């Protein structure tokens, strides 16, 4: 609806027009009685048209007011007059060539005159817009065109086509298929497919393709498509804008090459570090292994301290190697997650059990709390989560001198959020300065809570934070100096279906535990090219239920292998003649030919790269151990592979006679065992089976060193009973131990204490 300003000194005429104009589809914006007021309102209201009486009172008549409005505001004016003099009509025609109406006004004449005036204005505006568009389009750097489908010709192409293609607009007008002919051969199939989709109504908003410029050079073009439709919705034309993106594509290709080079450099760095780590771990495995064997022997206190110092330094170096490799793999994107089903409650309980000896040694109270909604079965990378939690637990105990360390686990889930495990580790230690809280998760940080000053290289929390991010979670800290710290680790998981045993456990039922039994002897095939490593493994397996057949390379391992005889294989990966991958594949072929069940093959490697693990699995390995291999880890892996409890070492019948040097130390030994006996009775009184198991295990090793086979057997019985939770039998074992200490002490010259 158009807005019309009416200017007439006759109130009657104004009232009549206010009723008539709406019936013609117009709206009366306002009515005025003189020319001056008409000019003022036209400037304020900006109407689409002014209907102006020629003769009006005041300083400005209708003709003067209309000319001012038309010339300054570009608003069309239709005049109304009752005069027929030639000079008046001439002035009107000069001022408004679009027409005028004479009074008395006829409605039909007024309708026609207004339509002519308004159409002329619209045409003038369209012409002006087209002119502006042409100016903008001809000066645009992008090629702009309209292609008509009715006659397959170009209605318009701007001059930018010359810079982009090397051809002039006239060339395209003369040959509408020119653009199709200059398409680069490598882009032709792509554009033919896109054009076929276009003709079927599937119109892609953009194309990116190459052409051959008139100078013979290839150019990359980016085209935006805007279909033009008629009133029925049919596509009748295509408006397009084409941009030359050759320079951008060149930059992208350079960046892609640079990125690939950087990725390759990062992978090369990771491979170098992995190789260096492998070369370091091989001798480190020998050092730590030999120290572990020495620690089980009877040593003077000063020598034992030396062994402990070497072991601690070796373990610190091994940890640092692992952390540096972890950071490198995460930086290069090569660390992969190993997702599987696990029990979150059991995970945090395992972490607490692992840190319990250190906590007790420092007199700290260890608390484990689980939320009521914590699932018994979740799906995620329990190994990575365990590594994060172990670092937090280790730091909590390390930096807490008194008080307690608390582990908390709960499940957070909402209607729109995925399930997320929330682990919290709280301590009452020294706390962290607010200035250090931002940087403790950075590599080689110097805050004490990172372990970076006197306890390590400051890599642990950096690895933990990166692992948390890799899991899709987060690791945060809240702390105040002197009041302790609270670390919160969140990791999204999927909730897995509970097994019947898990459901029974969740309902408060504890599945029955099998009584530990002595294991029968079984043969183990060991393939290791390093003599020192073979010696370590042989020492580890000595006295255990596992009889080892040693091979110095993969070929000898294949020759020694007896399908159906060997129960398990320990396979080094890097060996001469035949490596562990090929040897494992040959073992699997031998089993298939003999039609026997495949045995577990545990890979021994200094590599932690994901591709090495993948190759192990593809070759047929069922598990792997990263060097340096500790005795406890080795036995746990073997027991897990054979689906049995870790073995108790068989005590040989009869007592072996101790050396004269050992005999001189026996009185001190009996005094220590008497004190330990009292501690075990105290532990039994409070049903502390963990302490009883640890002390029983320690009694076995110490008694064997001093040649006390019977006492060692009692230690094994105490360890077994504690592991089974059989506190009723432990009292009798302690009585036997007390009697044995008295008898042996009397035989070796010790005076029993009162």
End-to-end Cα spacing for the chain: 118
pTM for the model: 0.39
Residues 375, 498, single domain; the answer is yes
Q: Is 47 in the same domain as 148?
A: no
Q: What is the pLDDT of residues 691-748, one digit of tens each?
A: 888 787 667 656 755 667 678 778 878 888 888 888 888 888 898 888 888 877 777 6
User: What percent of the chain lies above the pLDDT cut of 90?
Assistant: 16
With respect to residue 200, please indicate whether it lies within any of the assigned structural domains.
yes
125 and 171 belong to one structural domain = no
Q: Which two tokens mark 136?
A: 């903008």
Q: Between these two residues, 186 and 340, which has the higher pLDDT value?
A: 186
Determine the distance from the C-alpha atom of residue 680 to the mean position of all C-alpha atoms in its chain, rounded to a whole number. Answer: 48
**732 is a domain residue:** yes
Residue 518 clears pLDDT 70, i.e. is over it = no
Tell whether 556 and 621 lie within a shared domain: yes
359 and 492, same domain (yes or no): yes
pLDDT of residue 445: 58
- Residue 175 belongs to domain with CATH number: 3.30.450.20
Closest CA relative to residue 488, chosen from 408, 573, 377: 408
Of the candidates 562, 566, 576, the one whose C-alpha atom is nearest the C-alpha of residue 602 is 566
Residue 251 has pLDDT above 60, yes or no: yes
Tokens of 530: 């390093």
User: What tokens does 428 get?
Assistant: 């009452």
CB 146 within 8 A of CB 155: yes
pLDDT at 510: 33
pLDDT of 456 reads 43
Among 184, 218, 244, give the residue marking a domain's end: 244
Kindly report which listed range (243-247, 267-271, 406-410) carries the lowest average pLDDT score: 267-271
Residue 513 located in a structural domain: no
- For residue 183, the 8-state DSSP code is B
Give me the pLDDT at residue 273, please.
67
Q: What is the mean pLDDT of the chain?
A: 80
| Residue 654 belongs to some domain of the structure | no
52 shares a domain with 39: yes
Domain boundary among 453, 475, 506: 506
Round to whole Å and give the CA distance between 225 and 406.
Answer: 63
Q: Is residue 652 part of a domain?
A: no
Q: In the prediction, which pLDDT does 608 show?
A: 61
Residue-wise pLDDT tens digits, 344-363: 888 888 888 888 888 888 88
| Alpha carbons 209 and 105: distance in angstroms, whole number | 65
Give a yes or no: residue 648 inside a domain: no
Cα 363 to Cα 403: distance, rounded to the nearest angstrom: 8
- The model's pLDDT over 611-659, given as tens digits with 9 standing for 90+, comes to 677 788 888 999 888 776 777 788 888 888 887 544 443 333 333 444 4
Q: How many Å apart are CA 481 and CA 198, to the nearest integer?
A: 68
Question: The domain spanning residue 289 has which CATH number?
Answer: 1.10.287.130
**Hey, CA dihedral for 717, 719, 720, 724, is it positive or negative?**
positive
Convert the pLDDT of each residue in 413-426 to its tens digit. Answer: 766 677 899 999 99
Token pair 């108790």 in the structure block, residue: 648
Q: What is the pLDDT of residue 724?
A: 82
* CATH number assigned to the domain comprising residue 444: 3.30.565.10
The string of DSSP codes covering 132-181 is HHHHHHHT-SSEEEEEETTTTEEEEE-THHHHHHS--HHHHHH-TTHHHH
pLDDT of residue 270: 65
State how beta strands 474-480 and 484-492 pair: antiparallel
Q: State whether 312 and 388 are in the same domain.
A: no
Are both 564 and 689 inside the same structural domain?
no
Q: Which of 281, 313, 331 is the endpoint of a domain?
A: 331
Q: 548 with 488, same domain?
A: no
Q: What is the pLDDT of residue 370?
A: 84
Domain span including residue 200? 140-244
The label of the residue with tokens 């637990």 reads 393
What is the domain count for the chain? 6
Neighbours of 167 (CB within 10 A): 17
The mean pLDDT of 488-512, rounded to a whole number, is 58
CATH code assigned at 56: 3.40.50.2300
Is the pLDDT at 471 greater than 80? The verdict is: yes
Q: In the sheet where 365-370 sits, what is the strand order?
A: 365-370, 404-412, 420-427, 484-492, 474-480
What digits encode the pLDDT tens for the residues 145-179? 989 988 889 988 888 888 899 999 999 899 988 98
- Identify whether residues 95 and 205 lie together within a single domain: no
- 451 confidence band (pLDDT: 50, 70, 90): very low
Closest CA to 448 of 399, 482, 405, 493: 399
- The segment with the largest mean pLDDT, out of 38-42, 516-520, 533-537, is 38-42
pLDDT given for residue 665 in this prediction: 60
Residue 458: its pLDDT value, please? 56
For residue 685, the domain's CATH number is 1.20.120.160
Of 56-65, 82-91, 138-147, 359-368, the range with the lowest mean pLDDT is: 82-91
In the predicted structure, residue 586 carries a pLDDT above the cut 60 = yes
Judgement on whether residues 491 and 575 belong to the same structural domain of the protein:
no
Q: Do 278 and 391 fall into the same domain?
A: no
**Domain presence at residue 517:** no
pLDDT grade for 447, boundaries at 50, 70 and 90: low
Q: How far is residue 287's CA from residue 139's CA, in Å, rounded to a whole number? A: 78
The 8-class DSSP code of residue 725 comes to T
pLDDT of 292 reads: 75
| 577 located within any domain | yes
pLDDT: is 200 or 10 the higher one?
A: 10
pLDDT of residue 673: 83
Instruction: Report whether the peptide linkage leading into residue 477 is cis, meaning its omega lies within 30 degrees of zero.
Output: no
């Amino acid at each position: 609806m158009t807005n019309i300003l009416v200017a007439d000194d006759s109130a009657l005429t104004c009232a009549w027009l206010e009723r008539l104009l709406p019936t013609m589809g117009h709206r009366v914006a306002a009515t005025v009685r003189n020319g001056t007021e008409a000019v003022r309102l036209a400037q304020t209201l900006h109407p689409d048209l002014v209907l102006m009486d020629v003769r009006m009172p005041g300083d400005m008549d209708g003709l003067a007011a209309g000319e001012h409005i038309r010339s300054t505001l570009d608003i069309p004016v239709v005049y109304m007059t009752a005069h027929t003099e030639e000079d008046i009509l001439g002035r009107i025609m000069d001022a408004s060539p679009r027409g005028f109406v004479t009074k008395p006004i006829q409605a039909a004449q007024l309708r026609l005159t207004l339509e002519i005036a308004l159409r002329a204005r619209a045409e003038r505006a369209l012409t002006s817009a087209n002119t502006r568009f042409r100016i903008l389009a001809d000066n645009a750097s992008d090629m702009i065109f309209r292609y008509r489908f009715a006659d397959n010709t170009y209605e318009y192409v701007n001059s930018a086509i010359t810079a982009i293609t090397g051809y002039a607009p006239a060339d395209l007008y003369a040959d509408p298929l020119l653009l199709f002919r200059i398409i680069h051969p490598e882009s032709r199939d792509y554009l033919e497919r896109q054009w076929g989709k276009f003709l079927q109504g599937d119109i892609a908003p953009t194309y990116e393709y190459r052409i051959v410029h008139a100078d013979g050079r290839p150019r990359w073009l980016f085209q935006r498509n805007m279909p033009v439709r008629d009133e029925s919705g049919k596509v009748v034309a295509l408006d397009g804008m084409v941009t030359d993106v050759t320079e951008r594509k060149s930059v992208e290709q350079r960046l892609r090459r640079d990125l690939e080079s950087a990725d390759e450099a990062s992978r090369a760095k990771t491979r170098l570090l992995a190789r260096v780590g492998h070369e370091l771990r091989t001798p480190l495995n020998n050092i730590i292994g030999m120290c572990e064997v020495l620690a089980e022997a009877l040593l003077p206190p000063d020598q034992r301290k030396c062994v402990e110092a070497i072991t601690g330094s070796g373990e610190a170096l091994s940890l640092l190697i692992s952390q540096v490799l972890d950071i490198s793999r995460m930086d290069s994107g090569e660390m992969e997650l190993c997702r599987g089903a696990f029990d979150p409650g059991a995970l945090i309980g395992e972490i607490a059990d692992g840190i319990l000896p250190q906590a007790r040694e420092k007199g700290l109270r260890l608390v484990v709390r689980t939320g009521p909604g914590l699932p018994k079965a979740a799906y995620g990378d329990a190994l990575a989560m365990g590594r994060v939690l172990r670092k937090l637990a280790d730091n909590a105990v390390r930096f807490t001198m008194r008080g307690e360390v608390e582990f908390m686990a709960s499940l957070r889930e909402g209607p729109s959020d995925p399930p997320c495990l929330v682990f919290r580790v709280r301590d009452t230690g020294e706390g962290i300065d607010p200035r250090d809280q931002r940087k403790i998760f950075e590599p080689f940080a110097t805050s004490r809570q990172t372990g970076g000053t006197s306890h390590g290289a400051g890599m642990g929390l950096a690895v933990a934070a990166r692992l948390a991010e890799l899991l899709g979670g987060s690791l945060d800290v809240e702390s105040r100096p002197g009041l302790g710290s609270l670390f919160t680790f969140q990791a999204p998981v999927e909730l897995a279906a509970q097994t019947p045993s898990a459901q029974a456990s969740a309902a408060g039922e504890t599945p029955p535990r099998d009584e530990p039994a002595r294991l029968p002897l079984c043969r183990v095939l060991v393939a290791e090219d390093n003599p020192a490593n073979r010696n370590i493994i042989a020492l580890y397996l000595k006295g255990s239920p596992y009889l080892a057949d040693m091979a110095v390379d993969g070929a000898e391992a294949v020759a020694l292998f007896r399908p159906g005889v060997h129960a398990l294989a320990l396979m080094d990966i890097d060996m001469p003649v035949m490596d562990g991958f090929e040897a494992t594949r040959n073992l699997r072929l031998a089993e298939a030919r003999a039609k026997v069940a495949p045995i577990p093959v545990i890979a021994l490697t200094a590599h932690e790269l994901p591709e090495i693990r993948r190759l192990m699995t593809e070759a047929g390995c069922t598990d792997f151990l990263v060097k340096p291999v500790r005795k406890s880890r080795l036995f746990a892996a073997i027991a897990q592979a054979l689906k049995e409890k870790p073995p108790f070492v068989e005590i040989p019948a009869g007592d072996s006679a101790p050396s004269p040097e050992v005999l001189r130390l026996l009185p001190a030994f009996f005094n220590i065992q008497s004190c330990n006996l009292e501690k075990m009775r105290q532990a039994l009184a409070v049903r502390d089976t963990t302490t009883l198991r640890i002390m029983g295990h320690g009694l076995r090793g110490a008694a064997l060193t001093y040649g006390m086979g019977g006492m060692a057997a009692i230690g094994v019985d105490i360890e077994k009973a504690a592991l089974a939770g059989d506190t009723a039998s432990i009292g009798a074992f302690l009585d036997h131990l007390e009697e044995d200490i008295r008898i042996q002490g009397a035989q070796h010259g010790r005076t029993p204490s009162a």
